[in-house]
Structure 1
Amino acid sequence: MSGFGPKVKKNLKAEINVVPFIDVMLVLLVVFMIAAPMMTQGIKVDLPKAAAEPVDTKDDEPITVSVKKDGGFYIESGGEGLGGSRDTARPLHEIKDIVGKILAAKPNTLVFVQGDRSVNYGVIVELMGELKAAGAPSVGLLTDPPSH
């Protein structure tokens, strides 16, 4: 019975085999590389053209231009009307002139647009374009938070 010799103990190795881990990570990398472009696609919409950039919040006293249901433009800063009463509707070229003068004195002043829900989208975009042409470094849209 030569097969039943003395038992030889093998030394155990405490090593982790990382090859399966690398294989799994490479498969996940390929899956995310394929899936990421699909997640960023959206519905194609023909949007109006306007020069707009993201808003930087640096100034304390922004200018707010409001558009009411009737299409009238109103301008205020710090709760006060600019160049007259804040309840007086003004033509778009006058709003552009007022904003241009303020921005000439304070170039980093923020300009916000507050439009009524029923106002035509094109009117808001036209206003934003005029504000950018007046020299506004950024134009932001004001909204109400959703109610749950």
Structure 2
Amino acid sequence: MRTNLEIERVVEEYATMLLRVTFSQLNNRSEAEDAVQEVLLKYIEKAPEFTSEEHEKAWLLRVAINHCRNRLACAWNRKRTELDESIPALDPVENEVLHAVSTLPAKYRTVVHLYYFEGYSTKEIAEILHSRPNTISSRLSRARGMLAQALKEEIE
């Protein structure tokens, strides 16, 4: 069982990161907030033992990504319609980039988010996603190409 101090530390340290990764998967702020709560509940219920802070962070990211995938795969989610929800950005260019990233397929969005927003290397992303480093490199390369094309179309 986790102590209140441990739980508070994890929330303070990782809640923002988890919100970013769940939003990048779900493209909906309220769904992302719900997902973060579910991840933190799993952390409390399972009370896993970690060898380091990096191991803890990777576990939380893995659980968050899996939770989002499960949520997106459920039948209810496939039959509903999204309301257009925009998150204000600091400037129009940043908003265009965020929009372009949000339109990528989930497998590309995930690696782009982990690489550029969370600062993980391709090897670390491969470990988190249980993939090969070459697969992650390929996905990053394809995602960059898709983003370049989408942003080129936006500029024109």
Q: TM-score range by the shorter chain?
A: under 0.3
**Larger C-alpha radius of gyration, 1 or 2?**
1
TM-score relative to the length of structure 2: 0.24
**Greater strand content:** 1
TM-score relative to the length of structure 1: 0.25
